[in-house]
Amino acid sequence: MSDNPFETPISKGEDTAVSSATNDAVAYEYCLKSVEETAEKLSTDVKVGLSSPQDISYRKRMYGLNEMEAEEDEPLYLKFVKQFYEDPLILLLIGSAIISFLMGNIDDAVSITVAITIVVTVGFVQEYRSEKSLEALNKLVPPNCHLTRNGSTETLLASNLVPGDLVHFNVGDRIPADVRIIESNDLSIDESNLTGETNPISKNALTIPAQSEFTKIHISDCKNIGFMGTLVRDGNGSGIVVSTGSQTVFGHIFKMMADIEKPKTPLQLTMDKLGKQLSMISFGIIAVIGLIGIIEGKSWLDMFQISVSLAVAAIPEGLPIIVTVTLALGVLRMASHQVIVRRLPSVETLGSVNVLCTDKTGTLTQNHMTVTKIWAPQQDMIDISAEGTHHGSHHYGYDEPSFEKFLTADVQQVLEIGNICNNSRYSSENDRYIGNPTDVALVEVLRKFKLEDIRDTRKREKELSFNSARKYMAVTVHKGDKSKNETYIKGAYEKILNYSTHVISDNKAGKVSITEEFKQKVISKALEMASHGLRVIALAKKEGEMDFNKDPSGLKFGGLIGMYDPPRPNVPNAIAQFARGGVHVIMITGDSEGTAVSIAKQVGLYIQDASRQVISGEQLDNMSDRDLSNAIQYVNVFARSTPSHKVRIVKALQNRGDVVAMTGDGVNDAPALKLADIGISMGKHGTDVAKEASDMILVNDDFTSILTAIEEGKGIFYNIQNFLCFQLSTSVGALGLIAITTFLNLPNPLNPMMILFINIIMDGPPAQSLGVEAVDQDIMNHPPRSKHENILSKRLLQRISLKGLITVLGTIFIYSKEITSDHQVTRRDTTMTFVTFVSFDMWNAISCKHNFRSIFQVGFFKNKFFNIALGIIILAELSIVYIPLFQNIFQTEGLSFGDLVFILFVTSSVFVADEVFKMMVPNNNDITFAGKANAIV
């Protein structure tokens, strides 16, 4: 879950809006103004609201409707048509389909057209779905609001609000626009969809004092502003509308979303490049063969028909559909690992990711506060973290170690205060305590000391709830006798310590007063806890009631409790695997630098030189884009970061050529999620806006699922290369065979039905089953490939050429051997040639199961789909040769057992040659590391 609230510098001028990374949202200007100044500036009345209908109409024309208005979108049909002419490979296939149709090859024309239609339709649907993120933002604007105009209160459509309107809100309402709060009654607002923080923010009408222009203020510190789309959790209030629609904070996020264009995936870039290369190859074939034919004295028309036919045959029309099927199967496999992929091409992009920017809370950590340290004045620091379990001993019947030996009277008092001054509750449905994370942690720690929840033994008389202004919570309780009331209090240690005059003690000599020396000791212990990334709270009590209308006094100080959100158990191991795989992990958090560094070390991020490896939000604001791009390769942590910082970070990384994955869950994360090459949102705690803007959703918010997804992405790229190797080497073999026999004026060695069967092999089940080979277990030890790397790498082209050459030479050898024996072309000659070519294809397919590993390492029978496809083709081939019905159709005749053995011996040469190639030629050229940032991980 995101930790990153907005920051904005406060301006010194009265009428100068607060400059912010959210494009100067108007609301920041009014957090510095008093209620009276706000009303005066907007020419409204805090009691009766706007009064003039003409004025309201003017404001509506000036500011527009209170809605998120995107630019007029293209018609769906135009978007669909664009899919056909924006992809070079699709254009090439369309051209080949037209030529095939004009030349009478209807079967080829139909199959190519079907493949094009399927691929284009899938791509269109994926793109259409990805554009729904802007619509999700509009759902946050409530349809109605409670409004006072001219002294009359009514319910009105929120879209009709204008700046200056007086609105009212109660529990359960969404704030209809950005408003300057003028009245509040125990008002607290949930801004989690904006800031990512789950705790509601207490709101009031007080003015925030202006400070220097360099001073930063978090959005969560704008206590007098209610932001559009946020939810009222407690109390009620009223406010003056200061901005509507696109001028609100949400409006600026909407605009950022609309302005960001999703970058093409590495697979789309490589397929574009492949389409251009195949076009050049096709035109080259036409030119060369046509020229040679004309030199030999053949007619222009005949050579044109032959060269075009060969060029069409060279185009792997099954490639787009195979890529789509391979990606779709990858999506299904990832779904079984609780990962939902929303954009199909994004699956393969994962294999190129070399930088992963991640939130802390809920992603690297468990989003579950846990008490790890307790300090009482007469005790040493008690460590009850996982690392500190050596203090206790395991007891039968308990899942956790026991710390009973540390349960002195003053420690028990500390735990008792935390237990009673607590609003968490046990949920039978969830079988756990639920409520404020701090309260839950204080109840859950009891079992480590074998203590029970004693709240049902106390009668609560009154409560003072926590808010960020007073920074403490207090309750008054008794055991049945009101004359013996006690008040329990917990909160920020600075506050509690200042309100305390004595120490809780079992000293029978009398009360122990707090001295200045004692205060320094408490502060020292609190800072010690904070240095370990802990949230520190102090606990105290007072005999009798406390006047909740005044600051407390005369408290007895109990002690300190430190807690934190522990890392997810598998995160350090996952980060280590990312590092081995060349993926640079960057943690982006709103925490202070000290806390961020502490957490980073706990999750396994390498921090040796914090001055280079940690950048704060303030430092980031003072850096140019070029400076950021130069520095970011060394950075592992961004602290005190805002959502707008995330966008800058992504851009800086992409400017370096990195392929960036970004995690997020709040509305504020959506622009960065959309801009990133892979946007990853959280399934449990993510907002709808974040999910719609992302490419991938982690169903269980589990960081380690990203590792599985990247492994899958790398595997898919290699599977696509395996398919290409098989299909293009088969194409080269077919082209070479037809071209050589044509130029030698030999009869065609294969009849049309045989060529059709070979095309089925090239584009059908054997080829498709190569796309579902299992992911190599060692794949994360290979760095990511560059997004600019050609899918037809130099090494792959060498393999294709070698396989194609051996197939051509071997088939020509068999064909020439057969026709020279009887000096005429018989059924036996074409049958031998046909079986030879198909056998070459089968051996070729087996060797293409892995790009650089020997088949003896990969295993012959692990891919059941490939085994079935290979078996079907072998049975079909034998049927064509030996069953009379098919003999008549394909013009074949039966071969002897010796013929088959001889053919298998000759055709196995392509398998042997490829195995030798894999051993002799290293795989370095196939994997190019896209970035260097991982060097310091």
Residues known to be catalytic: 359
Q: Which two tokens stand for residue 376?
A: 């009482």
Distance CA 878, CA 191 (A): 70
Contacts with 118 (C-beta within 8 Å, 6 or more apart), sequence order = 321, 324
| DSSP code per residue over 816-865 | HHHHHHHSS--HHHHHHHHHHHHHHHHHHHHHTT-SSS-HHHH-SSS-HH
**145 bridge partner residues:** 156
Distance CA 420, CA 459 (A): 10
CB-based contact 112:97 (threshold 8 Å): yes
Residue 345: name the closest of 324, 364, 321, 322 by CA: 324
Residue 853: name the closest of 781, 915, 928 by CA: 915
The C-alpha angle with vertex 32 and arms to 26 and 36, in degrees rounded to 5, equals 95
CB-based contact 780:718 (threshold 8 Å): no
CB-based contact 664:690 (threshold 8 Å): yes
CB-based contact 623:641 (threshold 8 Å): no
Query: At 438, which helix (H) or strand (E)?
Result: helix 437-444
Distance CA 178, CA 27 (A): 6
> How far from the centroid of its chain's Cα atoms is residue 616's Cα?
23
Distance CA 599, CA 605 (A): 9
Query: At 39, which helix (H) or strand (E)?
Result: helix 35-41
| DSSP code per residue over 120-152 | HHHHHHHHHHHTTHHHHHHTTS-SEEEEEETTE
CB-based contact 672:641 (threshold 8 Å): no
Distances (CA, A) of 654 to 355, 414, 671, 931: 10, 51, 15, 10
Distance CA 316, CA 768 (A): 13
What single-letter amino acid sits at 566? P
Distances (CA, A) of 224 to 37, 146, 590, 655, 706: 13, 19, 21, 39, 39
Give the side-chain half-sphere CA count within 13 A for 374.
29
Exposure of 727 by Cβ count < 10 A (0-12 exposed, 13-18 middle, 19+ buried)? buried
Distance CA 887, CA 702 (A): 58
| DSSP code per residue over 681-744 | EETTT--HHHHHH-SEEETT--THHHHHHHHHHHHHHHHHHHHHHHHHHHHHHHHHHHHHHHHT
Q: Which two tokens stand for residue 451?
A: 């203590």
The C-alpha angle with vertex 668 and arms to 662 and 669, in degrees rounded to 5, equals 10
Query: At 93, which helix (H) or strand (E)?
Result: helix 88-102
| DSSP code per residue over 267-291 | HHHHHHHHHHHHHHHHHHHHHHHHH
Give all strands (DSSP E) within 196-345, no chain letters: 201-202, 216-218, 225-226, 231-243, 339-341
Distance CA 290, CA 295 (A): 9
